[in-house]
Structure 1
Amino acid sequence: MMSITDPNMSDRFTSAMEEVHNKQLKTYADIIDATADLAQSHKHFVKSALDTCLKKCKDDDMLFETIQTFKKDLERKNVVLKEKRHAISEVISEIQEKEMQKEDIIQKIEKLKEEQNKRKELIESQNKANKDRLKNLQKARLVFQDHLGLEIRTIFSKTRLVKGENLQFVFRNINPSDPDSAYVITMGINESGSYQIVSSDPVLECLPVLESRLLETNNLSAFLANVRKEFISQTRR
């Protein structure tokens, strides 16, 4: 061990202290450099994080605006869809109403066809009845005109009950004291196709009864024969 009185001791101590100091300076410099690197790295990290956050915020803003746009567009489409549904509902209601009207019209047409067929059948029936009555008139004409001197005249009537052509049956040879004296009964066919007595000259009180019997039997010859009998009976009273 060196003595403290060694003249080189101070130099060696100073040299050792400088070496320690230099090491400390170097360590301190390394720490400063490392700190600077960390600070720079932290700065880059913070800047990068900030840029990322800013970009994220911008993207979020764009996404929010897009969502709002989609939301408004969806609301508008919902309004349009609601209007279209309402319009479709009105069209469907109108179609259903027209279908009901169509069914009603079809039913009315069918009813009119049925009524027309019934009227046609009625007309045909009346025409047949009228033909039968005309045949009866012809037969009666042959019987009474040829054998009993009956005169048949066609006249035109404007009365409310019986309109159109009527027939006048003129009986003669009724009154023995005046064979040429005329006894007249006028009759026709009403709107329902039935015989209708218009008048008689002279008036026969039993004419309504004879008319009723004629409507029941449809026998014109028998009716005219009964009328002739009543005229003869009237002249003998």
Structure 2
Amino acid sequence: MASITDPNTSVKFTSAMEEIHNKQLKTYGEIIDTTTELCQSHRQFVKSALDTCIKKCKDDETVFEKIRTLKTDLEQKNASLREKKRAISEVMDEIQWKEMEKDDIIQKIQKLKDEQAKRKELIESQHKENKYRLKNLQKTRLIFQNHLGMEIRKIVAKTQLDKGEKLQFVFRNIKPSDHGCAYVVTMGIKDNGSYQIVSSDPVLECLPALESQLQETNNLPAFLAKVRKEFISQARR
């Protein structure tokens, strides 16, 4: 072991210390360099992470804005859809109401057609009946006029209370003492086509009963023959 008094020992020690110091400085420098590199790397990483986060936030904000826009559009479309559904419902109700009105009008038209057909049938029936009655009257007129001296006159009512045409059957050759003396029965036809006895001159008490028989049998010649017979009976009393 070298003595501490040896000058070389001091130099060696100093040299060794310097070498250790240099190594430590080198190591410290490497540590500093590594730390600096790590700090720079960390700053770059943090900056990159921050940039990524900022970009992500912006992207998220854009996405959220789109979501809000889509939500607003969806709400507007839903509101429009509800309005359209309401309008469609109102139109359907109106269509249903129109269909009901249409069915009601069709039923009324059909009812009017049926009533018109019935009226037409009744008019035709009354027309045929009146033609038959006219033919019957003409035949009766010829018979009574040629053989019994009866005259048929047509009279028209002059008042509102006594409407329509009426016929007067004037019988002569009734009274033995005066063959020209007139015995008169006035009659008309009701709306339903039946005969209506208005009056007789002179008055026959049995006229209502004869009228009932006429309405039942519709036999005008027989009715006139009975009226003539009653006039003859009354004239001979």
Return the letter of the residue paired with 2:82: K
Please name the residue that 1:143 is paired with: 143
CA distance in 1: counterparts of 2:151 and 2:7, whole angstroms: 198
Range 70-79 or range 19-28, more displaced: 70-79
What secondary structure is seen at the aligned counterpart in 2 of 1:65? Answer: helix
Structural mapping, 1:92-111, within 5 Å: 92-111=92-111
For residue 167 of structure 1, report the CA deviation from its aligned partner.
Answer: 1.2
1:223 maps to 2:223: yes
Given the two structures, how large is their TM-score scaled by the length of structure 1? 0.95
Structure 2: unaligned runs, 5 residues or longer: none
Structural mapping, 1:67-86, within 5 Å: 67-86=67-86
Higher relative contact order (CA 8 A, sep 6+): 1
Structure 1: unaligned runs, 5 residues or longer: none
Structural mapping, 1:156-235, within 5 Å: 156-158=156-158, 163-235=163-235
What secondary structure is seen at the aligned counterpart in 2 of 1:11? Answer: helix
What secondary structure is seen at the aligned counterpart in 2 of 1:113? Answer: helix
Please name the residue that 1:45 is paired with: 45
For residue 13 of structure 1, report the CA deviation from its aligned partner.
Answer: 1.4
What secondary structure is seen at the aligned counterpart in 1 of 2:134? Answer: helix
CA distance in 2: counterparts of 1:10 and 1:90, whole angstroms: 115
1:119 maps to 2:119: yes
Given the two structures, how large is their TM-score scaled by the length of structure 2? 0.95
Please name the residue that 1:131 is paired with: 131
For residue 189 of structure 1, report the CA deviation from its aligned partner.
Answer: 1.1
1:33 maps to 2:60: no
* Deviation digits for residues 126-159 of structure 1 (CA, Å, limit 9, x no counterpart): 1111111111101111110000011111111256
Q: Is the 8 A contact 1:162 1:190 kept in 2?
A: no
For residue 162 of structure 1, report the CA deviation from its aligned partner.
Answer: 6.3
| Paired residue total | 237
What secondary structure is seen at the aligned counterpart in 1 of 2:24? Answer: helix
* Deviation digits for residues 77-97 of structure 1 (CA, Å, limit 9, x no counterpart): 211111111111000000000
